[in-house]
Amino acid sequence: MKNYNISIIKGDGIGPEIVDEAIKVLDAVSYSCGFSLEYKEYLMGGAALDVTGEPLPKETITGVLQSDACLFGAIGGEKWDTLPRDKRPETGLLNFREAMGVYANLRPAIIYDELVNASTLKPEVIEGVDIMVVRELIGGIYFGKPRENDGFKAFNTMVYTKPEIERIGKQAFELAMKRDKRVCSVDKANVLEVSQLWRDTMEEIARDYPEVELSHMYVDNAAMQLVRNPKQFDVIVTGNIFGDILSDTASMVVGSIGLLPSASTGDKTAIYEPIHGSAPDIAGQGIANPIATIESAAMMLRYSLGESLAADKIDSAIKKALKDGYRTKDLAAYDAKEVVTTSEMGDIIANYINK
Ligand code: IPM
Ligand code: MG
């Protein structure tokens, strides 16, 4: 029997609750598909600060690098917000991404038919939306040097090298080949040199993918177009900070931040996590929606372990749970037949795996 080593980082706030439900579903699906998963837990963020005084302990870096893939909950909370920047949970997360070399962050935004009304946009605008935001994750202004804040002057540097743009661009085109074969590259080339290099490089990559249609959009226009007519997009490829902003917008277009997963991939390992945060205000109440994390586990099976049948089973089980009217509290207003707790939702999806 095939066995995979999965590193688990539960994190802070609702992180532990939602990751537990994803593990429940992973156990059900691995049993039914005939492979096994071995989990090892590591600390990060506030949970790590409380125990070790560091947001990203060394054991976490080495442990995750040795695993086949990492399932990640969420980190951060008010308790650690006043720490100096280098101690903050967010700094731990950025250093973690860099250490793992996960340069490509895939953030799908799809609409579940049952939840069309959960979006603030009109149903006819969003029905059928299926966007993949491909965000560069370990470069750009988040990591560029020099950076400084001396109390009078503060600056950061947006920098991309051609190889960095090439590797993220290739990912986007490869994904587009498996989808609707359209890539929209988002930049600010009317103002920024770094964006001009980005745009020129995307044009060069496109020559190797004659079947894929490449378009370019300035980021301000892209933000507007996402809300005006999201169906025009298939794959969006963009840099770190633009992708941070646009992926939040895309998630709200489909109305359900609690449902959307993400994958951060590179050449060494991959990290799978919900796109929502640690929601400390609702932690421990059993009302968090575990679906984004369960769907992240499905992405892990598909992209890192090559177990796409198992991933399909999770997708169908989630759709069935929603179709049958089970909703966690966040979605109670949208055609709920029964409002369930975090762990009940995990049970329902795990049970549907084998049906
Ligand atoms: C995200 C988050 C992070 C980011 C923060 C928490 C550092 O917003 O994953 O989108 O900006 O990348
Ligand atoms: Mg963000």
Q: For residue 174, give every residue at least 6 positions away whose Cβ sits within 8 Å of its Cβ, in sequence order, or none.
A: none
Q: How far apart are CA 268 and CA 160, in angstroms?
A: 21
Ligand 2: centre distance to CA 154 (Å): 22
Q: Band of the pLDDT at 255, cuts 50, 70, 90? A: confident
pLDDT band at 263 (very low <50, low <70, confident <90, very high): very high
What ligand has the least distance to the C-alpha of 94?
A: 1
Cα separation, 123 vs 19, whole angstroms: 31
Q: Which one has a higher pLDDT value, 7 or 255?
A: 7
Probe target for ligand 1 pocket from 103, 138, 244, with the most ligand atoms within 8 Å of CB = 244
The answer to whether 290 touches 21, Cβ cutoff 8 Å, is yes
The answer on 281 and 214 residing in a single domain is: no
C-alpha 170/C-alpha 206 separation (Å) is: 9
Known catalytic residue: 352? no
pLDDT in tens, 34-64: 999 999 999 999 999 999 999 999 999 999 9
Distance between CA atoms of residues 52 and 39, nearest Å? 21
Give, using CA atoms, the residue closest to atom 5 of ligand 1: 90
- Domain assignment present for residue 28? The answer is yes
Residue 204 lies in a domain: yes
Token digits of residue 171: 């990912």
The answer to whether 341 and 287 are in contact (CB under 8 A) is yes
Shortest-distance atom of ligand 1 to CA 90:
7
Same domain for 179 and 224, yes or no, is yes
Q: How confident is the model at residue 139 (pLDDT cuts 50, 70, 90)?
A: very high
- pLDDT at residue 123, as a whole number: 93
pLDDT(187) > 80: yes
Domain count within the chain = 2
Question: Concatenated DSSP letters for 222-282?
Answer: HHHHHHH-GGG-SEEEE-HHHHHHHHHHHHHHTT-GGG-EEEEE-SS-EEEEESS---GGG
Question: What pLDDT shows up at residue 258?
Answer: 86
Say if residue 174's pLDDT is above 80.
yes
- Kindly state the greatest CA–CA separation across the chain: 63
Give the active site residue among 208, 220, 267, 281: 220
Mean of all residue pLDDT scores within the chain = 96
| Choice among 244, 313, 329, 334 that is catalytic | 244
- pLDDT category of residue 355 using cuts at 50, 70 and 90: confident
Q: What is the DSSP string of 137-193?
A: -SSGGGT-S--EE-SS-EE------HHHHHHHHHHHHHHHHTTTSEEEEEE-TTT-H
- Is 80 exceeded by the pLDDT of residue 256? no
**Strands 35-41, 2-11: parallel, antiparallel or unpaired by DSSP?**
parallel
In a domain, residue 121? The reply is: no
> Domain containing 58 — which CATH number?
3.40.718.10
